[in-house]
Amino acid sequence: MRLFPILRNVDKFRTVFDFGGRDVAHWFPGHMAKGLKQMKASLKSVDCVKILKKLARDGVKNVLFTDCLKQIDSSIKKLVPMVLEILENKPRYNRDENIDYCMMVIGVPNVGKSSLINALRRTNMKKGRASRVGGEPGITKAVLTKIQVNERPKMFLLDTPGVLPPKIESVETGMKLALCGTILDHLVGEDIIADYLLYSLNRLRKFSYVEKYELLEPSDDIQHVLKRIAVKLGKTQRVTALTGVELSLLLRRKADAYHLSAVNATAAPAAAALATLTGDVRPATLKRERVPPTGPPARYVPAVELREGDPREEPREPPRPPFDRAGSNMKAESRRQVQHVAITWFIPELCRKRNAALLLKPCRAAPALLSAGRLYSSGGQYEFIIVEKRGEKNNVGFIQLNRPKALNALCDGLMKEVGHALDDFEVDAGVGAIVITGSDRAFAAGADIKEMQNRTFQECYGGNFLAHWNRVSTVKKPVIAAVNGFALGGGCELAMMCDIIYAGEKAQFGQPEILLGTIPGAGGTQRLTRAVGKSLAMELVLTGDKINAQEAKQSGLVSKVYPVDQLVSEAVKCGEKIASNSKLVSAMAKEAVNAAFELTLAEGTRLEKRLFHATFATDDRKEGMTAFVEKRKASFQDK
């Protein structure tokens, strides 16, 4: 207990937070405005709207409490009968739809709309398994129609983007929403989020971070705290200090660079320290905070307990939902429909209550979040990819390419972000395998041609263009590619850099660079030939033709083919199986198999034997053989 040092200096801490004149209008993502228009247009075909939140039961009817991460949830089974009863016994807006009930799923960002749809498909149609679909605000960026969730009777859902009101009442309200994960980190700024988090911790007298990060005493200096976190993580680097104009120019070009102090001082990489602080501490920060009802926390579960005499106890009127304004110019029946949506979305009756339970109880919240946090949140750290951990034990690293408008074309920035994410997973002792995937439409449709179009030979050769793309193939942990849709050019090369390729039924592979007047440049001619043989490789490279998933499997390029909606979950399942083994021995096995492409048979078997002998120096080899003899499951310690 460090009670005395803590009490000694807290009176000197800030009592008011300086937001630096930030404008919350810039925190409203563009896709949300587009999503609002799409939802208004979709109202014409909507039969009813369903609530997806864990709501307080104060006078609200037809509310189900669900957990989309459970493989079997009894509440999910009750949803279809409840909807049928509502549709059959109450007035309907779309009477021409007699069989295929069409309901819209709406809500704030990252509340679990897509996860609930998956839960319904899993329960009613036996498709897929329990999983968190998005995990980040803004994953669903467009209205997705005709998603079947039940067979008898046929029932379809419209999945919609998460939307917040475009007008947030104050900068502090927006900051609290950012702490809850409802607003994308990079729109607000990771640095100010971390600083506000530290300010909130100190103001609420929550000093667990002091011992957690081995500080001598509480601190009101975010740079000092981040530096200590980086030292504890071992993610520091020796850098040279710059001053004056040089420092100003450097920071302007690279705002997320290292924290510069004295000459040859230890510098803390901002991304790692920020992610750790917000991941470990952010959920607990809001334990006693009341988030105003502009939008709910999407990822965390604050208890919303208010202390007696807290001035924040006075309830605020909820904001007018965008739909309510939109409905004012519609004819009577449409306006009635819009009001129904607004009430379902915000539930003003609950918003006026002291604890605002509607806004603070996500349906998929899990206690593990309080300790696991958001170390791999992609909200602010990454622009082109989504990064998280999956699996029942969070032991599978997950990277999703996220450039949907460009069919996940591989630009230089995207590949650098993939490399950074792989670096993080490489040093994470809890991760035993990594899955890389894209979207249902495209794993990656190739390199970004617009980015390469005007490059010269001098730029490519002198700058060693594409050199860092090879990072995927140098990761020691097993990497699985889950390929749906197009994997062409650089996308096919990226998949081949992985150790295992799983494909969706509609996947297509090819190396069409010849049609652009060039050749593969990231290993396509070499890895494809080793995977499928010279003849087929020559045909694909020289003609630019594509092969489908089954042809790729028959040729040896792909390991297994799955239905599109099961592909990612099966890849994660494979990753979990790999991660359950010794990570140390898995790395040795991967090295031995990859050596087969580089060495002669004699050299390869010699390397294999040396690695085999090396396993006898590990505790995991001893544990594995002992467990086999004792007929029990091995418990590997990765050493």
Q: Contact, 113 vs 364, CB < 8 A?
A: no
Name the more confident of 153 and 553. 553
In the structure, what pLDDT confidence band is assigned to residue 89 with cuts at 50, 70 and 90? low
> Region 479-508: what's the mean pLDDT?
93
pLDDT band at 143, cuts 50/70/90? low
Q: Is the pLDDT at 295 greater than 60, yes or no?
A: no
**Confidence class of residue 403 from pLDDT cuts 50, 70 and 90?**
confident
Element containing residue 145 per DSSP (H, E) = strand 144-150
Q: Looking at the chain, which residues constitute the CATH 3.40.50 domain(s)?
A: 29-163+318-352
User: Is 246 a known active-site residue?
Assistant: no
141/506: higher pLDDT:
506
Residue linked to tokens 């209008």: 25
Task: Tell me the H-state helices in 107-221.
Answer: 113-125, 171-180, 185-188, 190-203, 208-212
Which residue bears the tokens 């894209």?
438
Start-end of CATH 1.10.12.10 domains in the chain: 583-629
Percent of the chain residues topping a pLDDT of 90: 17
Domain with CATH 3.90.226.10 in the chain: 382-578
| pLDDT exceeds cutoff 50 at 533 | yes
Q: What is the mean pLDDT of residues 395-400?
A: 92
Q: Is the pLDDT of residue 4 over 70?
A: no
Distance CA 356, CA 359 (A): 6
With cut-offs at 50, 70 and 90, classify the pLDDT of residue 450.
confident
- Residue carrying structure tokens 């792989």: 422
- Quick one: residue 478, left, alpha or beta (phi over 0 = left, psi -120 to 50 = alpha)? beta
Better-predicted residue by pLDDT, 4 or 311: 4
First-to-final CA distance of the chain: 33
Q: How far apart are CA 413 and CA 401, in angstroms?
A: 11
419 is catalytic: no
Q: Best-predicted range by mean pLDDT among 251-265, 330-344, 380-394?
A: 380-394
Task: Name the catalytic one among 513, 570, 576, 608.
Answer: 513
Confidence of residue 473 (pLDDT cuts 50, 70, 90): confident
pLDDT over 70, % of the chain: 57
513 is catalytic: yes
pLDDT of residue 139: 53
Tens digit of each residue's pLDDT (9 = 90 or more) over 159-193 = 666 656 556 667 777 777 777 666 766 667 777 88
What is the b/e burial string over 529-555, where b = at least 16 CB atoms within 10 angstroms of the residue's CB?
A: bebbeeebbeebbeebebbebeebbeb
233 sits in which H/E element: helix 222-233
Q: Please, what sign has the CA dihedral across residues 305, 307, 308, 312?
A: negative
Q: Is the pLDDT of residue 586 over 50?
A: yes
Task: Mark whether 135 is an active-site residue.
Answer: no
Of 120-129, 274-283, 327-336, highest mean pLDDT: 120-129
Asked whether the beta carbons of 264 and 238 are under 8 A apart, the reply is yes
Q: Indicate the pLDDT class of residue 2, thresholds 50, 70 and 90.
A: very low
**Quick one: pLDDT at residue 477?**
92
pLDDT, residue 276, reads 62
Residue 324: band (very low, low, confident or very high) from pLDDT cuts 50, 70, 90? very low
Q: pLDDT, tens digit, for every residue of 405-420?
A: 888 888 888 888 898 8
Residue 323 and residue 338 in contact, taking contact as beta carbons nearer than 8 Å: yes
Give the strand pairing for 265-267 and 237-239.
antiparallel
Q: 255 pLDDT exceeds 80? A: no
Q: What is 583-629's CATH superfamily? A: Lyase 2-enoyl-coa Hydratase, Chain  A, domain 2 (1.10.12.10)
Higher pLDDT among residues 311 and 35, named by residue: 35
H or E stretch at 587: helix 583-595
pLDDT band of 310, cuts 50, 70, 90: very low
Q: What count of Cα atoms within 13 Å lies in the side-chain half-sphere of residue 461? A: 3
Closest CA to 194 of 215, 205, 209: 209
Q: What is the pLDDT of residue 12?
A: 74
Please identify which of the residues 273, 356, 447, 571 carries the catalytic annotation.
447
How far apart CA 146 and CA 81 sit, in angstroms, is 20
Q: Which of 112-126, 165-179, 203-217, 327-341 has the lowest mean pLDDT?
A: 327-341
Q: What is the DSSP string of 301-319?
A: -------TT-GGGS--PPP
Out of 107, 135, 391, 490, the active site residue is 490
Residue 19 burial by Cβ neighbours in a 10 Å radius (0-12, 13-18, 19+): middle
Rounded to an integer, the average pLDDT of 39-45 is: 61
Under a CB-based contact definition with an 8 Å cutoff, are residues 584 and 639 in contact?
A: yes
CB 349 within 8 A of CB 289: no
pLDDT in the model for residue 619: 87
Structural fold of domain 29-163+318-352: Rossmann fold (3.40.50)
For 382-578, which CATH class? alpha beta
* Minimum mean pLDDT range among 201-205, 497-501, 603-607, 626-630: 201-205
- Mean pLDDT throughout 590-617? 89
State the catalytic residue, choosing from 190, 289, 493, 608.
493
- Does residue 136 have a pLDDT over 60? no
Q: Tell me the two tokens of residue 205.
A: 């007298």
Distances (CA, A) of 300 to 50, 154, 362: 22, 34, 7
Residue 581 has pLDDT above 70, yes or no: yes
Mean pLDDT in residue range 37-59: 53
pLDDT of residue 511: 92
Tokens encoding 288: 């006693």
